[in-house]
Amino acid sequence: MHWKISKEFDFCYGHRVWSQTLNTEFSLDGCLKCRHLHGHQGKIIVYLESEQLNNGMVTDFKHLNWFKQFLDDALDHKFILDINDPLFDTLLPNVKKESLIKFDEGYYLVDLTQFNDEQTHMIELYEGYVIVDFVPTSENLSAWFLKIVQNKMKKLNIKVSHVEFLETPKSKSTFYA
């Protein structure tokens, strides 16, 4: 026997796919819209599986509340920026990459302690960025989310089979463990 459960999460975010290229035979035009700064209402579906149940469950759905909190605190209404984006210095002037604060989940934030109380506009600007070390495509985001959930759920001995990430209601990527 084999059981699989899933839980959905959503959050609003912005990004840009600075590496986008198109084949006009298939795209019908060469407009590189994903290179622009833009936003989405993203949805993540996390799939957990088990060959045996514990207290009648793969695990309690509440065991994923931490992931919702992570999304709300770290990513919701933030701009996800690749540290290698050619516009990094333009979008984050006066930010030195080596002074970024690194988090276990694989992202960086600007150290806001460098600003004083009279620089609230700078704090508001920089706290809106989450820096990653990959181009934030749907595919790369789904792989990143799977890794984050896997690292945490292995403490409960729960297998994450895959993660689906919907950038829009009609555009989805899936990454399998």
> What residues does each domain of the chain span?
3-176
Kind of pairing, strands 101-103 and 107-109?
Answer: antiparallel
State the Rg of the chain over Cα. 18
Distance between CA 78 and CA 69 in Å, rounded? Answer: 14
pLDDT at 146 over 90: yes
| pLDDT at residue 23 in the model | 87
Distance between CA 168 and CA 170 in Å, rounded? Answer: 5
Q: Residues near 98 by Cβ (< 8 Å), separated by ≥ 6?
A: none
What secondary structure letter does DSSP report for 76? T
Report yes or no on whether pTM surpasses 0.85.
yes
pLDDT at 5 over 90: yes
| pLDDT at residue 101 in the model | 98
Helix (H, G, I), strand (E, B) or coil at 17: coil
Tens digits of per-residue pLDDT, 96-111? 999 999 999 999 999 9
Tens digits of per-residue pLDDT, 87-143? 999 999 989 999 999 999 999 999 999 888 888 988 999 999 999 999 999 999 999
Q: Strand pairing partners for 130?
A: 80
Q: Is 53 left (phi over 0), alpha (psi -120 to 50) or beta?
A: beta
Q: Which run of H or of E encompasses 27? A: helix 24-27
How much is the average pLDDT of 52-78?
97
Tens digits of per-residue pLDDT, 10-54? 999 999 999 988 888 888 888 888 999 999 999 999 999 999 999
| pLDDT at residue 24 in the model | 84
| pLDDT at residue 30 in the model | 82
Q: Residues near 117 by Cβ (< 8 Å), separated by ≥ 6?
A: none
Dihedral (CA of 162, 32, 124, 122) sign:
positive
Provide, rounded to the nearest whole percent, the portion of the chain with pLDDT above 90. Answer: 85
Q: Residues near 111 by Cβ (< 8 Å), separated by ≥ 6?
A: 99, 100, 101
What CATH class is the domain 3-176? alpha beta
